Every structure is written in C-alpha cells, then in structure tokens.
A and B are shown apart, each in its own frame.
Chain A
C-alpha cells in the first residue's frame, strides 16, 4: 500500500509542477470545429468545475491546481470502489 501512496504523491507533485506549462491551444477536435466554423454552444451541463477551474477562486494557477487535486482524488476513490466491486467474488 505504501508504494501506491508514494505514486499518488508523485502524481500530485507532477501535476503542480506541470500545470503552468500546459498548452491552452485548441486540441485536434476543437481545431476542426473551429476551421469549419461550428460553434461550441453553451453546454447543457456545466459541471461543478468547468474547464478544470474552481469558479470561486480567482488565481488561475491555484484554481486549476485545486480542481486537479480534487479530480485526481475523486477518480482514485471511484476507481477503488469499482475495483473492489469488480473483484469481490475472487478470493485471492
């Protein structure tokens, strides 16, 4: 279990270091839509943290970092629940 904890810390540290260097350019699909002049309408469901930012925090770095940490821990938690349910029947 200890090495999983180490891996998690490593993931969060890498995230904190790399966020400022992440590119804001459109990705492949957005570029295609842009070139064909397709509007990306306001989404029906905006989520709690649209564009990986916390709406209540002004500082862009901190806002994205907190959203990223929240998302990473959320995925960790949900995937662990799923993994436990998936292997419930196996004894090993």
Chain B
C-alpha cells in the first residue's frame, strides 16, 4: 500500500502532509506524557520487527500479494501514540533508503498506515474494554487489524482517485471500489497474522503487550 511519487498530485501530497503532521504532533505529546523511560528498547525492537515483517509478502489470490502492515500489532505492543510514531519511522526509512513509498507521498503513506493503524487501537478498546476474557480481546484485535487495512485502502483509493493521473481511468468511482475489493481480502491476512502474534504474546509474554495495559487503564503499574 506504499504510494509511489508518481501516483499523487502536489495539492493532495501537501494536504496529506498537513493532516499527518497534526496527528504526529498529537501523538508525540500524548506519548511524552504517557510513557516511562524504559519504553525506548521496546519501541526499537517493535519497529525493527515491523520493518522485517513488511519485507515478507504473502500471496493472497488472483495474482496479488500482501504483507503485514502491522499498525494494530504495534498499537497492542506500544499503545496508539507510540505505535503511530514507531510506524512513521519504519515508513520514513523505507522511503529514504529503499524507495518503497515516495518522498512527496510520505504524508499520505503515514496517514494510511501509521495513523489509521495506530488509531485502530480504539476499535480493540471498543470491543474488549469491559472484558477480562481473552476471547473479546482477540476478536477486537482481529476486527481492528482488518479495518486498519480496509480503511487505509479507502483513504488510499480517495487520494489516488482525486489525483489527475487517475482521472482518465475514472477517478474515485473506480479507484475506491478497486482498492477496497483487494484489501478486503488482504485485510484477512493482516487480521490472521496480527491475531496470532497478539494471542501468542498474550499467552507467553503478557508483560510485553504494554498497549494492552494502556487499554485496561493500568499504564501506571510496572509494565515495561
């Protein structure tokens, strides 16, 4: 879902930079107020894991592939605010060193994957908030990670559809349904991997899921 530079017009790139900058400043402030000193190594290893995981494309069907985006998983490990910042670092390094995702489209990519991924935390919260049962948590994680991909694809479809390069092809009336169609499928891959990773960590190393502690309102306990 990394948008290359040739896909978006300059006004849309600028607009998405502004929107993403707003969310990044917001999450920086929130994160600075929330997290203890010991967050740094967990933030580092989580980001590194997501970078590596994004390199492994898995085949879906009809000749397409998808890879884990990992926004929801990061938000379970780090909480929504540090999750957004962590994914932004991954995207920045991909754009700068690997030409995966453009420089001008960086704002749009941050919004589609980092911001939407991080905010999907609140879908988990909505479903699992009042339950200590892990079933609700896993259902929340599954739903949130599926939505994070589908909503990201919706945003991406709108961005490319409003750009003049896609107007000959039909604009948003074509790009949005096309993006949604593929990513409804890719979202199930994302959801399956995210739920597996989260449930295994929940079973084996629950202390690592500090996002979960934030979810349950226990971030003041010794969790990191």
Contacts and interface: CB of A to CB of B under 8 A. Distances in A.
Given A8-B45, A38-B169, A14 B65 contact: no
Q: Is the interface of B mostly helix, strand, loop or mixed?
A: helix
Nearest to A84: B40
Contacts of B63: 25-26, 31
Contacts of A25: 57, 59-60, 63-65
Nearest to A73: B48
Indicate the size class of the contact surface on chain B: 35 or more
Interface string A7-47: 11001101100110111111111011101111111011111
Interface stretch (B10-18, B92-100, B122-130, B132-140): B92-100
B178 A32 contact: yes
A90 B35 contact: yes
B188 interface: no
B20 interface: no
B182 to A, nearest CB: 4
Contacts of B169: 36-38
B23 interface: no
B66 A11 contact: no
A23 B57 contact: yes
Residue from A21, A45, A75 with most neighbouring chain B CB atoms (10 Å): A75
Nearest to A12: B52
B178 A35 contact: yes
Interface of B: 1-7, 28, 31-32, 35-52, 55-60, 63-67, 82, 85-86, 89-90, 92-100, 102-104, 153, 156-157, 160, 165-166, 169-170, 174-175, 178-179, 182-183, 186
